[in-house]
Amino acid sequence: MPTNERPNILLITSDQQHYSTLGVTNPRLQTPALDRLAAEGTRFDRAYTCNPVCSPARSSIITGLYPAWHHCWTIGVKLPEDTPTVGDVFQEHGYRSILIGKAHFQPLRSEPGSESLECQPILRDLDFWRKFTGPWYGFDHVEVCRNHADESHVGQHYAIWMEEQGLTNWRDYFREYDGRDVPSGRRGAWELPEQYHYTPWAAERTIANMEECVAQGNPFFLFANFMDPHPPYLVPEPWASMYWPEDMEPGRLVPGELDGMPPHFRKTQERKPDFSMYLEKHCNHGFHSHLHDEEQLKRDIATYYGMISFMDQAIGRILEALDRLGIADNTVVAFSTDHGHFLGQHGLIAKGPFHYEDMLRLPMLVRYPGHVPAGAVSSALQSNVDYAPTLLSAAGIEPPGLMQGVNQFDTWCGGAPARAHALVENRHQPTLVDLRTLINDRYKITVYRDAQYGELFDLVEDPGEVHNLWDEPAAAELKSRMLLEFVQAEIQREPTRMPRIAGA
């Protein structure tokens, strides 16, 4: 299509957001900007991550590949810089390709063979970041921020911006780096003034880059990443006090529900669990006691909601900028997150290798006036590995055969479902923590490497996932059928980078 008719692409993500935390589905939460997207577009209520860990999920979003193929298979593993990305393809077709906010494609340690720009001391080398704005992973322009709340991983373009805003003592608000990342103990209200927070920074830089593209007449693919509501549960006022803890409803552990689950689930409810059989050199997310004080969890949820509402205000500024620039009708806006979060459900907090809906399901909204139905809700299965090929298709660009994600553009526009199932990988230690999940319209099955145990849930009859059918004799035929579907899904997801062009 002609250059001036090609749509802009704006992909907005949060970090570690539970699928239920949208105002349109949760009356306790105020998210007017996201509610606006839902009213003017379609909400997809069966969206899933392809990996419930930050780096692999984000790498899949920009590559259209599952972690087993793009090789960033867990946190602390680098996405190879020669991996083709959706940004490369957009650039080849005349688009500006821009990344704002969280990247997390590289580890916090730099070692030979896994050199990283997202590690100390480079993170706080502001002279380096003043000179470096890309190209990087297919984005010709990047402005990045690595930390959550007051973590010591602060620096990069966000720290430069804080100094430009006059906050020269910004280090006072963040943990000092000493080779570890010891929690500060801050919780709830953060003394950092809200105008210096990374949430308004991400919105401001997103808007500035959109304005520049419009002024230059360039269509853009802009990946805007917010760092919240990932813990620590810490946010400036007035957001820290926006919600009352006594109004919060934590998830619950149903008595006896873990009896039929794999052994590491039950260990989470011990005060000093022994997870040594699952641990190697590096720490595994979630392998710790998940016992918690309910009153503190209510306070944490109130802060978590405040972080989301703060982010929503920033997203509202971005949507208003699209209107002001006159490009809202010609911009595909998609919103989602990398993976979910536990807020007490099944007795769990934060994250880990527990493939419940709370961890795998995503909030997801898409708006494209005149193409995507307004005010609709779709139960068509979605995966974040699908974003790359789908957004290319929305721009009239043929997705390359290398990408494994499904082109969902017709489904986004109200057509038939494009997926029969969603696949999830999770390997934090390849020989100790390696599991796969398949979800179809009704059932979910999880298989563990070198283990006889597993999980099988009927999401229609048992939406709370409290009754594992894996060892139920009455579910033996269903289990067999799901395992065969799993094998077929594994075969079908192989990419086809090179087309067949000859008979020999």
Structure confidence at residue 275 (pLDDT): 87
> Looking at the domain assignment, is residue 497 inside a domain?
no
Structure confidence at residue 382 (pLDDT): 98
Of the chain, the percentage scoring pLDDT greater than 70 comes to 97
Structure confidence at residue 180 (pLDDT): 64
Structure confidence at residue 327 (pLDDT): 98
> Looking at the domain assignment, is residue 500 inside a domain?
no
> Could you please report the per-residue DSSP string of 281-338?
SSPPTT-S-----HHHHHHHHHHHHHHHHHHHHHHHHHHHHHHHTT-GGGEEEEEEES
> Looking at the domain assignment, is residue 498 inside a domain?
no
Contact between residue 117 and residue 106 where contact means Cβ atoms under 8 Å apart: yes
Structural domain for 339, as ranges: 3-492
pLDDT tens by residue, 243-295: 999 999 999 999 999 999 999 999 999 999 998 888 776 667 899 999 999 99
> Looking at the domain assignment, is residue 121 inside a domain?
yes
DSSP strand pairing (443-448 vs 433-440) = antiparallel
> Looking at the domain assignment, is residue 472 inside a domain?
yes
Structure confidence at residue 181 (pLDDT): 65
In this structure, the chain runs to a length of 504
Task: For the chain, state the CA radius of gyration.
Answer: 22
Phi/psi at 20 (5° precision): -85, 0
Contact between residue 457 and residue 443 where contact means Cβ atoms under 8 Å apart: yes
Q: What is the CATH number of the domain that holds 387?
A: 3.40.720.10
Q: What are the pLDDT tens digits along the chain (504 aa)?
A: 444 589 999 999 999 999 999 999 999 999 999 999 999 999 999 999 999 999 999 999 999 999 999 999 999 999 999 999 999 999 999 999 999 999 999 998 888 889 999 999 999 999 999 999 999 999 999 999 999 999 999 999 999 999 999 999 999 999 988 766 667 778 999 999 999 999 999 999 999 999 999 999 999 999 999 999 999 999 999 999 999 999 999 999 999 999 999 999 999 999 999 988 887 766 678 999 999 999 999 999 999 999 999 999 999 999 999 999 999 999 999 999 999 999 999 999 999 999 999 999 999 999 999 999 999 999 999 999 999 999 999 999 999 999 999 999 999 999 999 999 999 999 987 778 899 999 999 999 999 999 999 999 999 999 999 999 999 999 999 999 999 999 999 999 998 888 888 776
> Looking at the domain assignment, is residue 389 inside a domain?
yes
The tally of domains found in the chain comes to 1
The 3-class SS string of 452-493 reads CCEEEEECCCCCCCCCCCCCCHHHHHHHHHHHHHHHHHHHHC
The 3-class SS string of 26-49 reads CCCCCCHHHHHHHHHCEEECCEEC
> Looking at the domain assignment, is residue 163 inside a domain?
yes
> Looking at the domain assignment, is residue 337 inside a domain?
yes
Structure confidence at residue 433 (pLDDT): 86
Phi/psi at 110 (5° precision): -110, 120
Q: The pTM is what? A: 0.96
Q: Select from 259, 256, 286, 255 the least CA-distant residue to 273.
A: 286
